[in-house]
Amino acid sequence: MFNDKIALTKYEWFVDKFDCKTAIETGTHLGNGTRNLLKYHDIVISCESYDEFFQETLSTFISDDKFNLELEFKTPTHNITVKKLVRDDKTLFLLKGSSELALESIFLNELNYEFDTPYIFYLDAHWNNKGGTDWPILHELKTIGNYNLSNSKIIIHDFKVPGFSSKNSPIWGYDSYDNIDLDYEYVKESLFKINDGMLSFFPDNVTNNACGRGMIYCVPPEELDFEEYLKYNRGKPPIELNK
The number of residues in the chain equals: 243
3-state SS, residue 104 = helix
- CA–CA dist 111, 145 (Å, integer): 20
C-beta of residue 125 within 8 angstroms of C-beta of residue 49:
yes
Q: Is the pLDDT at 106 greater than 90, yes or no?
A: yes
pLDDT band at 130 (very low <50, low <70, confident <90, very high): very low
- What is the four-CA torsion angle of 201, 204, 208, 212, rounded to 10 degrees? 10
Provide the residue ranges of all domains of the chain, joining segments of one domain with +: 5-232
Could you please state the CATH topology (level 3) that the domain comprising 5-232 is classified under: Rossmann fold (3.40.50)
Q: Which one is predicted more confidently, 167 or 51?
A: 51
Amino acid type, 33? G
Residue 49 neighbours by CB distance under 10 Å: 25
- Confirm if 100 and 142 have CB atoms less than 8 A apart: yes
On whether the CB atoms of residues 171 and 212 are closer than 8 A, the answer is: yes
Among the listed ranges 90-94, 177-181, 189-193, which one has the minimum average pLDDT value? 177-181
| pLDDT higher than 60, residue 111 | yes
Q: Is 131 left (phi over 0), alpha (psi -120 to 50) or beta?
A: left
Does the pLDDT at position 128 exceed 90? no
Tell me the three state secondary structure of residue 70: strand
Q: Tell me the pLDDT band of 177, cut-offs 50, 70 and 90.
A: confident
Average pLDDT over every residue of 142-164:
91
Q: Closest Cα to residue 93, out of 79, 120, 112?
A: 112
Distance CA 37, CA 2 (A): 9
Residues pairing with 216 in the sheet: 156
Please give the pLDDT value at position 17: 86
Residue 208 has pLDDT above 90, yes or no: no
Rounded CA-CA distance 9/81 in Å is 34
Assess contact for 183 and 174: CB atoms under 8 A: yes
Q: What angle do CA 23, 104, 142 make, to 5 degrees?
A: 90
Q: Which one, of 111, 35, 109, 103, lies nearest residue 72 by Cα?
A: 111
